[in-house]
Structure 1
Amino acid sequence: MALRVSLEVVADPSRSVTVAATDTAERLGIRRIAGGMRASAAYRDSVRAELIALAGAGELEVPIAGVFPLERLHDALRVLMTGHPGGKLALAP
């Protein structure tokens, strides 16, 4: 479902990337990446410099859905298990 919605926003499937839904992604022409995949490592290597440049210029936005102290790790996991928390979750000491 989420991949189909992504294609409504970004019509060109080659502009989308996912870490899940292998069969659906392949069927829709969306690139799938994962830590153990050689193609994934090559993709990350190819975009790393651009991401670093964007971050250095203050132009890279990473939405933060929540910051949790370590003692609330279980709360953070519950939010993560909802599927789409709306951004990254951070643990703070």
Structure 2
Amino acid sequence: MNEEKAYRAIAHIQSISGIKLSHEQLDRLLREAQGLHDAIKQWNGEKGEAGHIARTLAQAILGESWPTDVDGASQGEFINRLQSAATQRGYDIVPIAD
């Protein structure tokens, strides 16, 4: 994966989840999670086409797929659990911009 795509993936992951990854952390996570590696490799950078990244990110970190049919409160609860699991793995968490 080229540097530009890696940085775009890092920025996207941070924007949807609040999980702030360094380039090294992304590389390590991609080695652990082939599905996430494949999703980012196939991604063309469009925000609307990044659902597969969200699903595989959640699967890699939390062991669950990102829910698609939930209300705002349930989505918030899911993100809290995802961030908690990410924190346990040593990843930094930042606020998600609306």
**Is the TM-score greater than 0.5?**
no
| Alignment TM-score, normalising by the size of structure 2 | 0.27
- RCO greater where, 1 or 2, for CA within 8 Å and sep 6 or more? 2
Compare the two structures and name the one with the higher helix fraction.
2
TM-score, normalised via structure 1 length: 0.28
Task: Say which one has the larger Rg.
Answer: 1
